[in-house]
Amino acid sequence: MSTITIPVHTSSRAYDVLVGPGVLDQVGEVCARCAGGTVAAVISDSNVAPLYGQRVLSSLERAGYRTALLTFPAGEQNKRLSTLETLLEGLAAAELSRDDVVVALGGGVTGDMAGLAAALYLRGIQVVQVPTSLLAMVDSSVGGKTAVDLAHGKNLAGAFHQPSAVVVDIDCLKTLSHELFSDSCGEVIKHGVLADPALFAHLAKHPLNAPDVTSDELVSVVARNIEIKRNVVDADEKEHGLRQTLNLGHTLGHAIEASSNFTLGHGSSVAAGLCCIARGAAAKGWCSEDCARQIERATLAHGLPIDTSVGHETIFAFATHDKKRHGSTINVVIPHAIGSVSVRTITFDELAELIELGCNAHPSSEVSL
Ligand code: GLY
């Protein structure tokens, strides 16, 4: 399959997402064409830099860049202001100027932190996102959200900073563990429920983490996911309205993830949160029982959890501390049918009812990755 280009047009910046096998070798020419400058600083973590760092540096050097490689220890626990400060000092030491470019090479943590470093350094320089995990490919590398975590919670300090280009090399998925790949399928299923009954039906029949999935199929499913996200961020870059729908499954999912002390992966937590909210919505008559069952079946087909054993009070306590709360109401994304969702502002009492109706329905179906 040839490379697919997906144009993104947010209100602050237009850029292309390039998806295909082997496109890592094109990072240099993409940077030269879309970002310019003479120095390129590649930011990557201790897992990804040894795998792909040299290939990306070589591509940048072939395109005429002077390069620097800045690495930090892998892991969400390092997505902190202290790591960000080290990266910013690294950019200064490599003498990047306003015209130069940061290349974010890695998964979601790297993309978030390198994006924020680019947003802050010299009050903002360009960044090219090169996601290497499925989660980063289908979600975090597109749309310009950047952040670090605070002691009070995930992604609490950040900025919107759109990339100048995104380069998605499907071959990078070959070095991702089956567990991490499967975990990210939670976000892929979410996109199907959000906007695409055909993608959802395909995933339910042909799970993306099955052993016989071809590279062509990966290109096409990843590209479709990026188009879905693109359609949302083009319409609502700063999450005033439509972009909130991307939080489908996240209100309960974040609560499940946090109460597991982040031992359950983000995608698995979102998958469980999605099934719980669908069951709760079905019990309230906001979505059909059949829709909730379909979501459960597609989730199970990927070996992901469809429920949680975390108690109702704990989920409620975590959920009401979510960023999306407003006083004593909270915005929750409700699925109505496959391909149709809405954002509903509900009271904390209604949230408690949804949690009671949707969570712990069959906690024995919890699957831990
Ligand atoms: N990951 C949700 C968003 O980008 O808005």
| Main-chain phi, psi angles of 225, to 5 degrees | -60, -40
CATH number, position 329:
1.20.1090.10
**How far, in Å, from the CA of 33 to the mean position of ligand 1?**
27
Residues in the chain: 369
Do 145 and 23 lie in one domain? The reply is yes
Q: What does each C-alpha distance from 84 to 77, 116, 145, 352 come to in angstroms? A: 12, 8, 15, 37
Q: What is the DSSP letter of 10?
A: -
Looking at residue 187, what is its pLDDT?
Answer: 97
Looking at residue 81, what is its pLDDT?
Answer: 98
Looking at residue 369, what is its pLDDT?
Answer: 45
Q: Which of 112, 129, 140, 237 has most ligand 1 atoms within 8 Å of its beta carbon, as the pocket-test mutant?
A: 140
**How far, in Å, from the CA of 247 to the mean position of ligand 1?**
7
| Angle subtended at Cα 24 by Cα 22 and Cα 28, rounded to the nearest 5 degrees | 135
**How far, in Å, from the CA of 186 to the mean position of ligand 1?**
14
- Do 26 and 34 form a contact (C-beta atoms < 8 A)? no
**How far, in Å, from the CA of 7 to the mean position of ligand 1?**
18
- In the chain, the number of structural domains is 2
Do 125 and 241 lie in one domain? The reply is no
Query: Is residue 58 exposed (0-12), middle (13-18) or buried (19+ Cβ within 10 Å)?
Result: middle
Residue in the structure block whose two tokens are 């144009």: 7
Residues in contact with ligand 1 (CB, 6 Å cut-off): 139, 143, 145, 243, 246
Atom index in ligand 1 nearest the CA of residue 139 equals: 1
DSSP reduced 3-state for 76: helix
- Do 248 and 335 form a contact (C-beta atoms < 8 A)? yes
**How far, in Å, from the CA of 62 to the mean position of ligand 1?**
34
Do 10 and 67 lie in one domain? The reply is yes
Residues β-bridged to residue 6: 17
Please give the Cα distance from 255 to 155 (Å, whole number). 14
Using DSSP bridges, classify how beta strands 101-106 and 39-45 pair: parallel, antiparallel or unpaired: parallel
Do 253 and 159 lie in one domain? The reply is no
Domain span at residue 278? 178-358
Structure tokens at 202: 């395909």
Q: Is 128 left (phi over 0), alpha (psi -120 to 50) or beta?
A: beta
Question: Domain ends where: 153, 175, 197?
Answer: 175
Question: Domain ends where: 148, 175, 202?
Answer: 175
For ligand 1, atom 3: residue with the closest CA = 246
Digit-by-digit pLDDT tens for the chain (369 residues) are 689 999 999 999 999 999 999 999 999 999 999 999 999 999 999 999 999 999 999 999 999 999 999 999 999 999 999 999 999 999 999 999 999 999 999 999 999 999 999 999 999 999 999 999 999 999 999 999 999 999 988 899 999 999 999 999 999 999 999 999 999 999 999 999 999 999 999 999 999 999 999 999 999 999 999 999 999 999 999 999 999 999 999 999 999 999 998 899 999 999 999 999 999 999 999 999 999 999 999 999 999 999 999 999 999 999 998 766 778 899 999 999 999 999 999 999 999 999 999 999 986 666 544
- Do 149 and 257 form a contact (C-beta atoms < 8 A)? no
Segment 169-185, tens digit of pLDDT:
999 999 999 999 999 99
Q: Which of 112, 138, 145, 238 has most ligand 1 atoms within 8 Å of its beta carbon, as the pocket-test mutant?
A: 145
DSSP reduced 3-state for 329: strand
Please give the Cα distance from 187 to 135 (Å, whole number). 7
